[in-house]
Amino acid sequence: MTAVASADAAKFSVSTQPLSPEELRRMDAYWRAANYLSVGQIYLFANPLLREPLKLEHVKPRLLGHWGTTPGLNLARGWTVVNSAPQRRA
């Protein structure tokens, strides 16, 4: 293995230790926020932060996308970010 390949392998190694309570809390917060934003993008025209009471005109009459795979995709994205953070490297 070359020095460059060895350096690249070290750059992408991750810890095998379980997540700390703080990392779990942050992962949960990320996942909840990402799911909230996804629902807003799928179902709403306006008012995604619900700064006013939700009205029928805020809701899309025809949905673009579906909810089915969104939570799993958001979790996978978040897990990738957690595992690639510098403090998680071995």
Residue 59 bridge partners (DSSP): 44
Tens-digit pLDDT profile for residues 54-89: 999 999 888 766 677 787 788 787 777 666 665 544
Domain-wise residue ranges, the chain: 21-88
CB 34 within 8 A of CB 77: yes
CB 78 within 8 A of CB 4: no
Tens-digit pLDDT profile for residues 20-44: 898 889 888 888 888 888 888 888 8
Residue 44 bridge partners (DSSP): 59
